[in-house]
């Protein structure tokens, strides 16, 4: 069961931006994201109500949970949605894997946690991977759009890292992650509803199979079920080993991008994805030995 949950999370999250690409833009990205956040907030709220776990947040914890919700679920998701449309899902997935480098940096800045040398080494390889992957596109007509996509994806990943730092603070306060996610997704929903309202958008739900299937995938499978499986993985094998899957996201995203015809299989794609994977693995402190069957380790800082 552990192996199944690990592979499930790896594949589902690795295909996140492919699903965003398939969903497309029959309505604005803001409205699509609002639908996703509202549904997920309802699911986590229902789960919190049914389970009633310990570790309820106190009043002084709410500002940090709000930051977590805004950064991780509202603004970072929106930036990554736009980046996926401007660039390729493979590039966005690769850039998002840089969170394994950016999150420790955010933890160092905001929580004064030590920054290991391996993070800098892995980060260098990750940046090289991104550069190799986007280099061919800079010579094409779409190069400017790809470059904009890269910068927006980087912004979204930085926001995610800030949200992760806030989440780490909440974890140290022993706030149950089900409460944190229920409140975080609710805050993200409110923010996105506000943006949609300010823009004066008409609320329309596309009924195409492509759109609805992608929406259900992003909400129920990617934002809810995969996250619950990840919690069980952290409980069984520890947060550090569970986090290794991030290192393989570029490979999953790259292969899927080729399969749907968005990207062309070439040497740049292969080298870029491999460099990013190796960099992420180094930053995470990956040890090359079997790790799905092992003793529980502590969660990563």
Q: With 0-12 CB in 10 A as exposed, 13-18 as middle and 19+ as buried, what is 58?
A: exposed
Q: What is the mean pLDDT of residues 193-221?
A: 96
Taking the C-alpha atoms of residue 119 and residue 121, their distance in angstroms, rounded to an integer, is: 5
Taking the C-alpha atoms of residue 224 and residue 244, their distance in angstroms, rounded to an integer, is: 20
**Radius of gyration of the chain measured on its C-alpha atoms:** 19
Residue 148 has pLDDT above 70, yes or no: yes
Per-residue pLDDT band for 32 (boundaries 50, 70, 90) equals very high
Taking the C-alpha atoms of residue 99 and residue 246, their distance in angstroms, rounded to an integer, is: 9
Residue 131 has pLDDT above 90, yes or no: no
pLDDT of res. 133:
79
pLDDT of res. 143:
61
Residue 296 has pLDDT above 50, yes or no: no
pLDDT of res. 100:
85
pLDDT above 90 covers a percentage of the chain that reads 53
Q: What is the mean pLDDT of residues 250-258?
A: 88
Per-residue pLDDT band for 300 (boundaries 50, 70, 90) equals very low
Taking the C-alpha atoms of residue 273 and residue 14, their distance in angstroms, rounded to an integer, is: 12
pLDDT of res. 187:
97
Cα-Cα-Cα-Cα dihedral of 8, 160, 148, 137, to 10°?
-40
pLDDT of res. 288:
53
Per-residue pLDDT band for 263 (boundaries 50, 70, 90) equals confident
Could you tell me which residues come within 8 angstroms of residue 288 by beta carbon, excluding any fewer than 6 positions away? Answer: none
Q: With 0-12 CB in 10 A as exposed, 13-18 as middle and 19+ as buried, what is 253?
A: buried
pLDDT of res. 153:
95
Residue for token digits 């603070």? 169
Per-residue pLDDT band for 180 (boundaries 50, 70, 90) equals very high
The tokens describing 79, both together, are 């930036």
Per-residue pLDDT band for 139 (boundaries 50, 70, 90) equals low
In this prediction the pTM is 0.88
Residue 234 has pLDDT above 80, yes or no: no
Residue 251 has pLDDT above 70, yes or no: yes
Residue 3 has pLDDT above 90, yes or no: no
User: What is the distance of C-alpha 300 from the center of its chain?
Assistant: 16
Q: State which of 106-120, 217-231, 238-252 shows the largest mean pLDDT.
A: 217-231
Taking the C-alpha atoms of residue 260 and residue 18, their distance in angstroms, rounded to an integer, is: 9
pLDDT of res. 264:
83
């Amino acid at each position: 069961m552990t192996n199944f949950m690990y592979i499930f999370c790896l594949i589902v999250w690795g295909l996140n931006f492919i699903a965003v690409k398939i969903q497309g833009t029959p309505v604005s990205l803001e409205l699509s994201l609002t639908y996703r956040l509202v549904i997920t907030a309802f699911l986590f709220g229902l789960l919190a109500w049914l389970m009633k776990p310990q570790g309820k947040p106190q009043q002084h914890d709410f500002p940090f949970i709000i930051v977590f919700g805004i950064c991780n679920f509202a603004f970072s998701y929106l930036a990554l949605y736009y980046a996926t449309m401007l660039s390729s899902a493979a590039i966005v997935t690769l850039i998002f894997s840089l969170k394994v480098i950016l999150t420790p940096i955010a933890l160092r800045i905001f929580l004064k946690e030590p920054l290991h040398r391996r993070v800098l080494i892995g980060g260098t390889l990750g940046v090289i991977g991104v550069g190799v992957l986007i280099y061919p596109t800079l010579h094409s007509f779409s190069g400017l759009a790809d470059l904009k996509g890269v910068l927006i994806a980087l912004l979204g990943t930085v926001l995610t890292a800030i949200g992760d730092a806030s989440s780490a603070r909440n974890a140290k306060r022993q706030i149950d992650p089900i409460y944190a996610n229920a409140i975080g997704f609710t805050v993200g929903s409110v923010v996105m509803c506000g943006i949609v309202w300010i823009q004066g958008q008409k609320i329309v739900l596309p009924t195409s199979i492509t759109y609805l299937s992608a929406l259900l995938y992003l909400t129920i499978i990617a934002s809810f079920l995969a996250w619950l499986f990840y919690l069980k993985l952290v409980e069984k094998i520890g947060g550090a080993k569970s986090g290794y899957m991030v290192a393989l996201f570029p490979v999953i995203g790259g292969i899927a991008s080729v399969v749907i015809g968005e990207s062309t299989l070439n040497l740049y794609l292969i080298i870029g994805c491999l460099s990013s994977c190796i960099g992420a693995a180094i930053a995470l402190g990956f040890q090359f030995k079997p790790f799905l069957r092992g003793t529980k380790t502590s969660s990563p800082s």
